[in-house]
Amino acid sequence: MNDPQVATIPYWQQGAQVQLPEAALPKRVDVLIIGGGYTGLSAARETAALGAATLVLEAGAIGAGCSGRNGGQVAHSIKPTFAELSRVHGAERAFAICREGHEAMAYLRWLATEGGVDCDWRQQGCFYGAHTRRHFLAMAKDARCQPRGLEQRISVIARADQRQEIATDFYHGGCVYHDDASVDPMRLLLGLLRRAQSAGVTVLDRCPALALETNREGFEVTTPRGRIFASKLLIATNGYTGNLTPWQRRRVIPIGSYQIATEPLGASQVKSLIPQGRNIVDTRRVVVYFRPSPDGTRIVFGGRAALAETDPLACAPRLMDMMTRILPQLEGVRCEYAWAGWVAYTFDTLPHLGSHRGIHYCMGYCGQGVPLAPHFGRRIGQQMMGIEEGRTALDGLPFPTRPYYGGTPWFMAPSVFAYRTLDALGI
Ligand SMILES: Cc1cc2nc3c(=O)[nH]c(=O)nc-3n(C[C@H](O)[C@H](O)[C@H](O)COP(=O)(O)OP(=O)(O)OC[C@H]3O[C@@H](n4cnc5c(N)ncnc54)[C@H](O)[C@@H]3O)c2cc1C
């Protein structure tokens, strides 16, 4: 596709892009944070509020990373299930890890409703559509047998009733998770930026950290605007983690994720397609997820459109095709925005925070960072300042890697191909 009418900026950034004034680089700070997304800005707000002179360096413009280009869907989102975590970590720790997902959701709700972060928070729920009958039966069972203390409000929707959620017969029924929510991701990012700045944080955008040296007193970082010395350092680069920090790079798996937004369809057409205005996610391994735009006039649709492609324009027709298979009523509708970003997976599908050789890190939300990144960002900031409140159920877990893995996931294309085949076979 080479359609000049398709904009390659995220739909959320239209009219919302910011360029920070080009301030000089200070010589020295107490806390230096590399990465100006939800994680970095949330951590920075904590360290500054606790009295540390804090600087955030962002390589691109604000919103260059995932935080300005995600789908804005919010779920209780620790990836492994309680049962899976219990097998590895025991029931008590598994419960505590799952509670972190609930706390993350509660913190984001608080930020949006009481904490002054105006981000179009809507707790309208999510319909999870079953890709096969077997998926539906498994979902219905999970909804009936939720672990005590981790219950969510879930309604099972039979296929015969599914059109009250989405105007399609594509799914075999599904479940509504009533507590799921949505935000405007860019407004969330700008809200966290303002919150950090009000606490005294300096944020420099378009200022990448190019080199890093560690010495006995701290860290020296080279940027295009000079060198800066910091007593403490946080790496908050998630799916954009590069060679600056090879130890962290070997532990996150960057996976391309793609989004489109349709042309305006009108509020009544969007309501006829998704009558309750909820997020929609399906149960395929190679997941697709979509929702109405905040103004209710478009569909914003996302998924993994390509095995190795990084050009969002090349991916847009594939996403349009995936969308019209679910909602054939959208045949002939024009795509107006197409964009992509890098999410960070981990080998155990858990987020990780802590420190290695004195360098703090917080990353690896496995595509669930809208609620998890502000929460764990806050916690790592508190940990850096040595306060008790920063403790989490993930502390001390080993951050796994694999032999011969250096940060380029050569195994992704064959894995996604295999997952797609299993999805197509309904397995
Ligand atoms: C298309 C897409 C859709 C998604 N949809 C959802 C969703 O619906 N729900 C959900 O929960 N999650 C979703 N996610 C994931 C979510 O957006 C992320 O988990 C979250 O934003 C991570 O925030 P972060 O601050 O850790 O990382 P990021 O926002 O990626 O920030 C990292 C930053 O580090 C910067 N950086 C890297 N190297 C350097 C350097 N050397 N110097 C300075 N800066 C550097 C990068 O420029 C980047 O801005 C989606 C992601 C994508 C890409």
Kindly report the CA angle at 127 between 72 and 68, in degrees rounded to 5?
Answer: 5
Report the residue among 70, 251, 304 best suited for mutation to probe ligand 1: largest number of ligand atoms under 8 A from its CB: 70
Predicted pLDDT at 367: 93
Report the residue among 343, 362, 380 best suited for mutation to probe ligand 1: largest number of ligand atoms under 8 A from its CB: 343
- Mean pLDDT (the chain, rounded): 94
CA 217 to each of CA 33, 173, 264, 404: distance values in angstroms, whole numbers, following the listed order: 17, 59, 55, 33
CB-neighbour burial class of residue 340 (10 A; exposed 0-12, middle 13-18, buried 19+)? buried
Q: What is the CA radius of gyration of the chain?
A: 21
Torsion of CA 267, 273, 277, 280, to 10 degrees: -140
Cβ neighbors of 309 (< 8 A, separation 6 or more) are 256, 315
Residue 5 has pLDDT above 90, yes or no: no
Structure-block tokens of residue 219: 């860290």
Residue 135 has pLDDT above 80, yes or no: yes
Nearest CA to ligand 1 atom 10: 368
Q: Which H or E run contains 154?
A: strand 154-157
CA 92 to ligand 1 center in whole angstroms: 30
- For the segment 337-346, the average pLDDT, to the nearest whole number, is 95
Predicted pLDDT at 160: 97
Structural contact between residues 127 and 289, judged by C-beta atoms closer than 8 angstroms: no
Predicted pLDDT at 399: 98
At 183-210, the pLDDT tens digits run 999 999 999 999 999 999 999 999 999 9
Residue 332 has pLDDT above 90, yes or no: yes
At 377-408, the pLDDT tens digits run 999 999 999 999 999 999 999 999 998 888 88
Predicted pLDDT at 310: 72
Atom of ligand 1 nearest to the CA of 208: 42
pLDDT top residue among 284 and 144: 144
- Residue 116, SS3? coil
Report the residue among 237, 363, 379 best suited for mutation to probe ligand 1: largest number of ligand atoms under 8 A from its CB: 237
Nearest CA to ligand 1 atom 16: 369
Helices in 125-184 by DSSP H: which ranges? 133-144
Residue 2 has pLDDT above 60, yes or no: no
Q: Which amino acid is at 150?
A: L
Residue 350 has pLDDT above 60, yes or no: yes
pLDDT band per the 50, 70, 90 thresholds, residue 414: low
CA 399 to ligand 1 center in whole angstroms: 19
Least confident stretch, 225-239, 302-316, 323-337: 302-316
Atom of ligand 1 nearest to the CA of 41: 25
* DSSP of 281-328: EE-SSS-EEEEE-TTSSSEEEEE---SS---HHHHHHHHHHHHHHH-G
- For the segment 224-251, the average pLDDT, to the nearest whole number, is 97
Atom of ligand 1 nearest to the CA of 371: 11
CA 186 to ligand 1 center in whole angstroms: 11
| Angle between the N-to-C axes of helices 369-384 and 185-198, in degrees from 0 to 180, rounded to the nearest 10 | 20
CB-neighbour burial class of residue 26 (10 A; exposed 0-12, middle 13-18, buried 19+)? middle
Residue 106 has pLDDT above 60, yes or no: yes
Atom of ligand 1 nearest to the CA of 240: 37
Atom of ligand 1 nearest to the CA of 185: 17
How far is residue 111 CA from its own chain's centroid?
17
Residue 421 has pLDDT above 90, yes or no: no
Predicted pLDDT at 384: 98
Predicted pLDDT at 314: 87
Q: What share of the chain is helix, strand, coil (3-state, %, to 5)?
A: 35, 25, 45
* DSSP of 3-71: -TTSB-S-GGGTTT------PPPPSEEEEEEE--SHHHHHHHHHHHHTT--EEEE-SSSTT-SGGGTS-
Q: How many helices (H) and strands (E) does the chain have?
A: 10, 18
Give the whole-number percent of the chain exceeding pLDDT 90: 85
Which pTM value belongs to this model? Answer: 0.96
- For the segment 336-345, the average pLDDT, to the nearest whole number, is 95
CA 84 to ligand 1 center in whole angstroms: 26
Predicted pLDDT at 305: 62
Residue 19 has pLDDT above 90, yes or no: no
Give φ, ψ of 34 to 5 degrees. -105, 115
Say how far apart CA 276 and CA 182 lie, in whole Å: 13
Say how far apart CA 284 and CA 143 lie, in whole Å: 18
CA 348 to ligand 1 center in whole angstroms: 19
Say how far apart CA 425 and CA 418 lie, in whole Å: 11
Nearest CA to ligand 1 atom 20: 369
Say how far apart CA 148 and CA 307 lie, in whole Å: 39
Residue 417 has pLDDT above 70, yes or no: no
Report the residue among 240, 255, 278 best suited for mutation to probe ligand 1: largest number of ligand atoms under 8 A from its CB: 240
How far is residue 179 CA from its own chain's centroid?
18
- For the segment 218-230, the average pLDDT, to the nearest whole number, is 97
pLDDT band per the 50, 70, 90 thresholds, residue 105: very high
Predicted pLDDT at 306: 62
CA 49 to ligand 1 center in whole angstroms: 23
User: Ligand 1 — pocket residues by CB below 6 A?
Assistant: 34-40, 57-60, 64-67, 69-73, 208-209, 236-240, 242, 244, 257, 259, 302, 341, 343, 363, 365, 367-370, 373
CA 51 to ligand 1 center in whole angstroms: 27
Predicted pLDDT at 276: 98
At 42-91, the pLDDT tens digits run 999 999 999 999 999 999 999 999 999 999 999 987 999 999 999 999 99
Say how far apart CA 286 and CA 99 lie, in whole Å: 26
Q: Which H or E run contains 420?
A: helix 412-424
- For the segment 149-154, the average pLDDT, to the nearest whole number, is 96
CB-neighbour burial class of residue 314 (10 A; exposed 0-12, middle 13-18, buried 19+)? middle
Residue 157 has pLDDT above 80, yes or no: yes
Predicted pLDDT at 244: 97
